[in-house]
A and B are shown apart, each in its own frame.
Chain A
Amino acid sequence: MASTQQLKRRIGSVKNTKQITKAMELVAASKMRKATEAAHRGRAYRQSAHSMLARLNKVTEINEHPLYKKRPVDQRLYIVITSNRGLAGAYNSNVIKSLAGSIASDKKQKIKSSVIVIGKRGAQFLNRVEGIDIVAVYDDFSDKPTANDIRPILNTIIDKYTAKLVDEVCIIFTEHKSNILQTVDNLTVLPASYETDPDESEGPSLSDVTFEPSVNDVLENVTERLLEVQIWQALLESIASEQSMRMLSMKNATDNATEIIDDLTLEFNTARQAKITQELAEITGGAEAIK
């Protein structure tokens, strides 16, 4: 049995760990709340972009536009969203598993895959894997990304897609379904898709609407907005998921620490009692011997 001194030290250290995990749990909870709120705020943007597209669809055949036209896929680009920090349960490994699965199935179909990776964890993994073309690594995003952060990604994918360097762009991220359920999702962002809404044939006539500078320029811009909001929401959903998972794993860690403290305290008390009993026995033994 360990000495009381040692037990005391161990209890102290577990208590410190518990304080840290508890604090991390609380921090993650507040960050998660902020990220989900921000993700919801993007909805108005998405709706507006959609309704503009609906108007544009009346004057031009959207699905004929280069950004919408599907072509046979020879090269696929993935945008992968991982975190900069660990201690978030299976958050990163789930995303990486999904990416690895997609790349393996691409290989079978002889599709070349390349990757844009967000987050240090994903970058670390991909550096170890051979034969994957990494287009760019973004590992300096904060917990509160700005529109300016995702601009370069947006420009890269649009440039590559219009230059026909890639035929499809997918984004792999973690969807935040609820605080306890997060699932990895694989979403195709390019070619963009536009589905006609049956209700939209109502609404005002567009014969007298002016498009400046031209219908195509406007369409390109609105499409860009739509892509942007998709990336943006994927990013925020991922951040929310990361924080949820971190919150949960830190809660488990805190619970485990409590359990260990209880066990150690029990052991400590037993050891202490045993020591007292032994001392008493020695004293009585000593007293008997003097008689």
Chain B
Amino acid sequence: MINFQLISLDGVKFSGEAYEIILPTMDGEIGVLPGHMPLISVAERGVISIRRKQNEPDDMMEHFAISGGAIEVSNGSLNVLVDEADASDDISEEEAREAMERAQKLKAEAKDQVSLQQAQNLIDRSAVRIQVAGLKRRGRRG
């Protein structure tokens, strides 16, 4: 088992044992299983999925929407350091969609490079949140 800690600016979001953690990194998605080699890498904005037990089916996995950050694998523990991490249960799909619409409007109205970038950033953020909110729904059905 891996001792997994997910730390955001807003505190520790997940702390405990897990069997498998799937993370988005700069070089693509990686899966961390027990016995993973020591690694320090950079996380991208995306979805972290956690499988608590070895035989847990996919639709029981826990999901977090994260923004970019740093990850560290060492001696059977995984530390993930990100600005924001929201559990799928804490995200309302409706709100995320509204945020997306607002962000797209901002992008359409953006006048300079900076505000365009900020709007794009908000769009990316909302996209991940919508994705994670959708994952929760599937989990409930199963």
- CB-contact partner of A217 in B8, B39, B42, B81, under 8 A: B42
Q: Do residues B8 and A147 form an inter-chain contact, with CB atoms below 8 A?
A: yes
Q: Do residues B27 and A212 form an inter-chain contact, with CB atoms below 8 A?
A: yes
B74-126 residues with Cβ-Cβ distance < 8 A to A are 74-75, 79, 81, 83-84, 114, 118, 121-122, 125
Tell yes or no: A86 within 8 A of B by CB. no
Q: Which residues of A contact B81 (CB under 8 A)?
A: 45, 48-49, 52, 222, 225
Q: Report Cα–Cα, A41/B84, bound state, in Å.
A: 13
Given contacts A208-B37, A209-B38, A213-B27, contact A44 B69 (CB under 8 A): no
A148 to B123 alpha-carbon distance, docked (Å): 12
| A217 to B27 Cα, complex, angstroms | 12
Residues of chain B contacted by A55 (CB below 8 angstroms): 40, 72, 74
Q: Are A41 and B83 in contact (CB under 8 A)?
A: no
Chain B residue with Cβ nearest A215: B40
Q: In the bound complex, how far is the Cα of B125 from the Cα of A148, in angstroms? A: 9
Q: Is B142 an interface residue (CB 8 A)?
A: no
Q: Which residues of B contact A212 (CB under 8 A)?
A: 25-27, 39-42
Q: Is the CB of A209 within 8 A of B40?
A: yes
Whether B118 and A147, one on each chain, are in contact in the complex, defined by CB atoms closer than 8 angstroms, is: no
**What sequence of 0s and 1s flags, for each residue 253-274 of chain A, a beta carbon within 8 Å of any chain B beta carbon?**
0000000000000000000000
- Chain B residues near A211: list those with CB within 8 A: 39-41
Chain B residues with Cβ under 8 A from A204's Cβ?
38, 74-75
A41 touches B118 (CB 8 A): no
**Cβ–Cβ < 8 Å partners of B114 in chain A:** 152
Q: Which residue of B lies closest to A41 (CB)?
A: B11
A229 at interface, CB cutoff 8 A: yes
Contacts of A7 in B (CB 8 A): none
State which size class the interface on B falls in. Answer: 20 to 34
Least CB distance, A157 to chain B, in whole angstroms: 14
The distance in angstroms between the C-alpha atoms of A49 and B25, with both chains bound, is 17
A209-266 residues at the B interface, CB under 8 angstroms:
209-213, 217-218, 221-222, 225, 228-229, 232
B84 adjacent to A221 (CB under 8 Å): no
Partner among A44, A208, A217 whose Cβ is within 8 Å of the Cβ of B11? A44
Cβ of A147 to closest chain B Cβ, rounded Å: 4
Nearest neighbor of A53 in chain B, beta-carbon distance: B70
A33 interface contact, C-beta 8 A: no
* Alpha-carbon distance A42/B9, docked complex (angstroms): 5
Q: Are A209 and B7 in contact (CB under 8 A)?
A: no
B40 contact set on A, CB distance < 8 A: 52, 55-56, 209-212, 218
The complex places the Cα of A208 from the Cα of B69 at a distance, in Å, of 22
Taken together as a complex, chains A and B put the C-alpha atoms of A211 and B25 apart, in Å, by: 12
Measured between beta carbons, the chain A residues less than 8 angstroms from B74 are 55, 204, 209
Interface residues of A in 49-103 (CB under 8 A from B): 49, 52, 55-56
Question: Does the CB pair A147–B27 fall under 8 Å?
Answer: no
Minimum-distance CB pairs A-B, first 7: A41-B11, A147-B83, A212-B41, A209-B38, A221-B42, A147-B84, A210-B39
20 further contact pairs, Cβ within 8 A, besides A44-B12, A222-B81: A41-B12, A44-B7, A44-B11, A45-B8, A48-B79, A56-B40, A147-B84, A148-B83, A151-B83, A206-B38, A209-B40, A209-B74, A210-B38, A210-B39, A211-B39, A212-B39, A212-B41, A221-B69, A225-B81, A228-B83
| CB<8 Å pairs between A and B, sample of 20 | A44-B12, A52-B70, A52-B79, A55-B40, A55-B72, A147-B84, A148-B67, A148-B125, A204-B74, A206-B38, A209-B39, A210-B41, A212-B25, A212-B26, A212-B41, A213-B27, A218-B42, A225-B69, A225-B83, A228-B9
